[in-house]
Amino acid sequence: MSILIDKNTRLLVQGITGSEGSFHTRQMLEYGTNIVAGVTPGKGGDWVLDGKIPVFDSVKMAVEATGANTSVIFVPARFAPDAIFEAADAGIPLIVCITEGIPVQDMMRVRIYLDQKNVRLIGPNCPGLLTPGESNVGIIPGDISMPGSIGVVSRSGTLTYEVLAALKQHGMGVSTCVGIGGDPINGTNFLDCLKMFEEDPYTEKVVLIGEIGGTDEERAAEYIADHMTKPVASFIAGQTAPPGKRMGHAGAIVEGGSGLAEDKIRALQEANVRVARHPEEIPELLV
C-alpha cells in the first residue's frame, strides 16, 4: 500500500521533449509507471519514446484526452511557475515539480494559488515520489528500493538515495518515499507527510531525513510527540556546517541562531525519535 501514488496513477509529463524530461520519462516508463501523456507547447500531435506516449500542446487538452491525474514538471525555472499554474487550472490534484532554481517570490505566488485551489504540490527542487513496485514519479532510481512498510520523507535528494539503498541492503522495504525538496518555499512539508503515513494502515515505521536551515524539523518533532503512534527514525544532514554558509539547498542556510543541526536533533530526541549519526545507521534504529 502507499500514499500519494500507486499503480493507478495516470501521469503526464510537462516538458517531455526536453533532454531531462525525455531521459527521466524513459526511466519512469521502464519502471512501470503509467505515463499517459506529455505536454510541450507547439509539439502537440507528436508521439515520443517509440510512439508510446502522445504529446499535447496544453495540460487541459492532455487531461481531457487521457484522464491524467498527476503531473511531473521538467521545465526550466523561468517557465516552471506557469507550468504549475497550468496544471492546477486543468484540474490536476497532484503536481510534482523537479525543477530547481525557482525564485522564492515566484514560489510564494504559486503556494498561495495552489492553497486556494486545494492542489497538492511536491517540490520544487525535489527528487519526486517512489512507491516501490507500483509507480515512480520523478528522478529517484527505482532499483534502490523494494516494497515494504517503511515510509520515508526527505528534504535531501542524495541522502534519500543513500537511505533507500541502506534499507534495501538490510531487507527492509518502503511503502512510499516522498522527496519534499529543500527550498525555503515548497508545497508539501514534513507535517503533511507524517500525517499521511500515520493514517496509512500499511506504513508501520517512518524515516525522516532533514537538514540544517529553517525550523521544519522542530515543527515535525512537535507533531511526532503529539500525534504519531508509529516509530520514527531520523537523520539530520549538515551537522558540521559553519554558520552563514549555504549547503546545497536554498533552504539549508543557518543564520540568526536558528536552523542549527544540534537544535533539530535535540527536538527530535525529546520527541522519542531515534536519530542516526550517519545515514547507514538508519536500518539499525528501525529494528
Q: Indicate which residues carry an active-site annotation.
A: 249
Contact between 24 and 139 (Cβ < 8 Å): yes
For cell 495516470, what's the residue? Answer: 10
Q: Which residues of 155-167 are buried (b: 16+ CB within 10 A; e: fewer)?
A: bbbebbbbbbbbb
Handedness of CA 219, 222, 226, 227 (dihedral sign): positive
The grid coordinates of residue 25 equal 520519462
Cβ-Cβ contacts under 8 Å for 286 (sequence gap 6 or more):
150, 167, 172, 205, 207, 231, 233
Non-local (6+) Cβ contacts of 81 within 8 A are 102, 106, 107, 109, 110
Peptide bond into 76 cis (omega under 30): no
- All three cell numbers of 273, joined, read 525519535
* Torsion (CA) 28, 29, 33, 37 in degrees, nearest 10: 100
270/267 Cα distance (integer angstroms): 5
Residue for cell digits 521538467?
74
What's the rounded Cα separation, in Å, for the pair 233 and 186? 23
Beta bridge partners of 75: none
CA–CA distance, 111 with 76 (Å, rounded to integer): 18
